[in-house]
Amino acid sequence: MSTLSDRPENSVVGVPEPHESAALHVTGRALYTDDIATLRRDTLTAWPVQAPHAHAHIIALRTEPALVVPGVVRVLTAADVPGVNDGGIWNDEPLFPTEVMYFGQAVCWVLGETLEAARLGAAAVEVDYEVLPSLITVPEAIAAGSFQGAHRITRRGDVDAALATAPHVFTGEWEFSGQEHFYLETMASLAYYDEGGQMYVQAGTQHPSETQEIVAHVLGISSNAVTVQCVRMGGGFGGKEMQPHGLAAIAAIGATCTGRAVRLRLNRTQDLTMTGKRHGFHVAWTVGFDDNGRILGLKASLTADGGWSLDLSDPVLARALCHLDNAYWIPAIEAHGQVAKTNKTSQTAFRGFGGPQGIMVIEDILGRCAAPLGIDPALLRRRNFYAPGQTTPYGQPVRHAERMEAIWSQLLDKSEFAERSAQIEAFNAVNPHIKRGLAITPVKFGISFNVAAFNQAGALVLVYKDGSVLINHGGVEMGQGLHTKMIQVAATALGVPRASVRLAPTRTDKVPNTSATAASTGADLNGGAVKNACDQIRERMSVVAGGMLGANPTDVRFSQGKIHALGVHGQELTFADVAKVAYQQRVQLSAAGYYRTEGLHWDAEAWRGSPFKYFAYGAAAAEVEVDGFTGAYRTLRVDIVHDVGDSLSPIIDIGQIEGGFVQGAGWLTLEDLRWDTTDGPGRGRLLTQAASTYKLPSFSEMPEEFNVTLFEHAHEDGAIYGSKAVGEPPLMLAFSVREALRQAAARFGPAGRMTELASPATPEAVFWALTAAKQALATTAPGVDAPGAKRIPVLADS
């Protein structure tokens, strides 16, 4: 067992603790970026002038009419940029464009004394456009050859030979939608200069260091002249990993031009129409099975809708390709990936970061093919699980492959899967207009950034003379409970009560060169750095305590704020006592911690390596009920068994599993992004630009019974206190709901028929799926199955 994963007795980690800001959240006292901005009396407000075309040249920009609007102070244009006019990392995202690339893109920004003055000023700006042809859908981009980024291929074995000899071959082609982040706090920034000429930015960003770099690059100054702070965010989900940078830079340009603080907070419509989403994908595939339902070969092409700029589309596509296998052994595979360039918002990171899209492909294939193969979907999935010793298509050994089987067995038992399946069959037999479905799906999700350099973190830990502790780390809090876990890690490492530890806001002048809080790595990376800093301090204090106790420093033990030594009886010191003496002896009581994930290697060109530290496993079983007249449905029950290693904070982890599952169910069943694809004047406009038209999960979509179990005996050696990441993997457990809907819709038709289901599987989509099933039944003679069908056997072990 590594020292990083070794968990001492009386640990604060593993204890069910509430979120460190829970009381502030529920009482309204938690401060967010715009709350901080409104505390300053001299602050100007920025408002965008948005383009009404999906693709156009800007012929003329007249800002003079805005300047006569009362309260308008300035209109920011490209002429005001002191450095580089670009808010991205690939030099393809001009802050002030000459060519509009999507409907709603900001062409300039108005600064006003009040929000209303800025809004009216923006409405007064006059812009002349030359409208250009636009590409809105992925098929349009494919037909036009409009791509960006790299073309990637994952390959193993001879897939053509495998498909040529496979007894059962199926093909498919379809598109599935992206997803809007819809975080409660929209994009927000505050920028001003302090008395020393330092640019200070308070921003809702998942990547403060990159926000710092982009602001410095836009202002033409060095990074040490910019400080970025993030107190907390009201949700991020990946949407604030890249796209806050340019908005923070706009606020910083405004502060530079006016000498006053500038706040920029998008309203909900602006946030929806200006910021990126989860990538939708176009997929074509051919798959071959043997007579027992084992996959022999898979050939696929995946095209991601990248929108107008590259953003994070390349690594999103990479992770999709790396998760195309999910939990299944595919002996021969060839999958091509590319990113389409369309005239839409620049799609970006979203919880799962391409993993859900890759897993969607294989889960949809298995869901479609189970019936024509005549194999129960749960059994088909189980038969294809990885076995110990097997590797992924890109060559990484699948460690703990047996864990998937153990989780699956535990879930079948806990969910009473066999008994309920029989009950559902009986229910469906006597209810012609209402059908139920019960499905179980797995997840195997790799944890680490695909780019090895990002897998590092820093921390600063301070111990004061009274024994109190202040920690600062490079991760940001967006509601996921990272700060809570870091407090527990520090308290455990130093052997003090949780109440002795306080956490300071994330700032680039305290911990530099940090990675984004993303890829579910926040606790792994920052926890390692916090523990490293604490271990340094504890080692120094052990020498002091050993001297006080007359013991060898290696025999000194810290626990619950008390310090004793092995073999020394009747003597006990307090942590505060030792801290005070350490100060008097001129022993350093602060430390900068550092952590880097070991064992990672990845060759993106060869598409080989081990890009992930470990895999997180889980499974979910979901039961739904579908109305045959409308396609409306209810989720009756969900059971989950999920692997979080040795949990750092069980309440936080269970909350993340529940929240991730519901967000995944929203993507797969409700959240339907629609753009205007007509040739009219609104072409390219986002049609679902409010909560009234974009359906989000609510209490009514929650399962009536929701059971979450943390998989036990799951210690992860080499990770912070034996834990595993929890942020992203649970989202993909929601495939169980989609597959249950497929099974319920199929019950309206004949056995053995392939049931296709659109995504998101809205009530409308489910209605069309069950209508197709009914039509197939109407054309099938009584007592006869669909052509070529096999009867699905009772669920059995493989």
DSSP alpha helices (H): ranges in 550-649? 575-584
Q: State the pLDDT at residue 796.
A: 41
Q: State the pLDDT at residue 700.
A: 87
For residues 534 and 51, the answer to whether their CB atoms sit within 8 Å is: no
**pLDDT grade, residue 65 (50/70/90)?**
very high
**Nearest to 511, CA basis, from 718, 252, 228:** 228
Instruction: Cite the beta strand spans of 597-732 per DSSP E.
Output: 601-603, 608-610, 614-627, 633-642, 705-710
Residue 399, token pair as written in the block: 């460690």
Query: What is the per-residue pLDDT across 755-768, written as a single tens digit (0 to 9) for each?
Result: 999 999 999 999 99
Rounded to a whole number of angstroms, the CA Rg of the chain reads 28
pLDDT at 792 over 90: no
Q: State the pLDDT at residue 784.
A: 54
pLDDT at 593 over 60: yes
pLDDT at 656 over 60: yes
pTM comes to 0.96
**Nearest to 231, CA basis, from 393, 388, 35:** 35
**Nearest to 112, CA basis, from 86, 56, 74, 163:** 74
- DSSP letter at 645 equals B
**Nearby residues of 691 by Cβ (< 8 Å), 6 or more positions away:** 182, 268
**Picking from 252-266, 476-490, 501-515, 784-798, which range would have the lowest pLDDT averaged per residue?**
784-798
Q: Give the residue-averaged pLDDT of 152-156.
A: 97
Sign of the four-CA dihedral 441, 446, 447, 448: negative
For residues 20 and 471, the answer to whether their CB atoms sit within 8 Å is: no
User: φ and ψ at 596, to 5 degrees?
Assistant: -135, 140
**pLDDT grade, residue 794 (50/70/90)?**
very low
CA distances to 207, 219, 441, 454, 520 from 524, rounded to whole Å, are 16, 34, 26, 12, 8
Instruction: Cite the beta strand spans of 341-455 per DSSP E.
Output: 434-447
Measure the N-to-C terminal CA separation of the chain; round to a whole number of Å: 34
For residues 662 and 701, the answer to whether their CB atoms sit within 8 Å is: yes
For residues 233 and 32, the answer to whether their CB atoms sit within 8 Å is: yes
**Nearest to 633, CA basis, from 668, 674, 673:** 668
- Ordered structural domains, the chain, with CATH: 22-28+456-596 (3.30.365.10), 385-441+614-672+698-798 (3.30.365.10)
List residues bridging with 723 in a β-sheet.
645
How many residues can be counted in the chain?
798
For residues 463 and 589, the answer to whether their CB atoms sit within 8 Å is: yes
Query: What is the per-residue pLDDT across 672-683, written as a single tens digit (0 to 9) for each?
Result: 999 999 999 999
Separation CA 10–CA 543 (nearest Å): 22
Strands 333-340 and 295-305, sheet pairing: parallel
Query: What is the per-residue pLDDT across 507-560, written as a single tens digit (0 to 9) for each?
Result: 999 999 999 999 999 999 999 999 999 999 999 999 999 999 999 999 999 999
Q: Give the residue-averaged pLDDT of 335-345.
A: 98
From the centroid of its chain, how far is CA 306?
A: 17
Separation CA 580–CA 585 (nearest Å): 9
**Nearby residues of 349 by Cβ (< 8 Å), 6 or more positions away:** 238, 239, 241, 242, 312, 316, 518
Adjacency order of strands within the sheet including 44-50: 72-76, 106-112, 44-50, 262-265, 188-193, 199-203, 226-230, 506-507
For residues 755 and 371, the answer to whether their CB atoms sit within 8 Å is: yes
Separation CA 291–CA 374 (nearest Å): 10
Q: Give the mean pLDDT of the chain.
A: 96
User: φ and ψ at 138, to 5 degrees?
Assistant: -65, -45
SS3 labels along 375-401: CCHHHHHHHCECCCCCECCCCCECCCH
- DSSP letter at 19 equals -
In the set 728, 739, 756, 764, the catalytic residue is 728
**pLDDT grade, residue 798 (50/70/90)?**
very low
Separation CA 184–CA 207 (nearest Å): 18
CA distances to 14, 285, 650, 742, 759 from 668, rounded to whole Å, are 32, 20, 27, 12, 6
Strands 295-305 and 281-289, sheet pairing: antiparallel
Q: State the pLDDT at residue 791.
A: 44
658 noted as active-site residue: no
- Higher-confidence residue of 798 and 67: namely 67
For residues 191 and 489, the answer to whether their CB atoms sit within 8 Å is: no
Q: Give the residue-averaged pLDDT of 774-778.
A: 96
Strands 469-473 and 501-503, sheet pairing: parallel
Q: State the pLDDT at residue 782.
A: 62
Residue 104, token pair as written in the block: 């709603």
pLDDT at 790 over 90: no
Burial class of residue 646, CB neighbours in 10 A (0-12, 13-18, 19+): buried
Query: What is the per-residue pLDDT across 697-739, written as a single tens digit (0 to 9) for each?
Result: 998 889 999 999 999 999 999 999 999 999 999 999 999 999 9
Separation CA 615–CA 400 (nearest Å): 8
Q: Give the residue-averaged pLDDT of 488-517.
A: 98
Query: What is the per-residue pLDDT across 187-229, written as a single tens digit (0 to 9) for each?
Result: 999 999 999 999 999 999 999 999 999 999 999 999 999 999 9
User: Other C-beta atoms within 10 Å of 784: how many?
Assistant: 10
Q: Give the residue-averaged pLDDT of 584-593.
A: 98
SS3 labels along 144-184: HCCEEEEEEEEEECCHHHHHHHCCEEEEEEEEECCECCCCC
Query: What is the per-residue pLDDT across 219-261, written as a single tens digit (0 to 9) for each?
Result: 999 999 999 999 999 999 999 999 999 999 999 999 999 999 9
